[in-house]
Amino acid sequence: MGDDAVVYISGQEAAKRLGVAPITVSRVARRTGIGVFVEDGRLAALATTDLPRLRPHIHETSGNPVWIAAAKKKTRRKRA
């Protein structure tokens, strides 16, 4: 047997490694079903191998990314 031991970290540590708030990690983990949850639904731990799986689901800014992109889009005014 090799070094195939799974290393689990807390949501706080995962947030530090991903550069986001702990609540963000918890929400994304719950939405994607990644991680270990206790009976009442709280995130108990994440495997270090789960971090790359979570990263694509974390947005750069808060809020709805579709609305953010729409707000940045320039609109042309019609001439009367």
Per-residue pLDDT of 2-46, as tens digits, reads: 567 889 999 999 999 999 999 999 999 999 999 999 999 899 999
Q: Does domain 8-72 have CATH number 1.10.1660?
A: yes
Order of strands across the sheet with 8-9? 8-9, 43-47, 36-37
pTM of the model: 0.68
More confident residue, 7 or 72: 7
CA separation for the pair 15, 8 (Å, rounded): 13
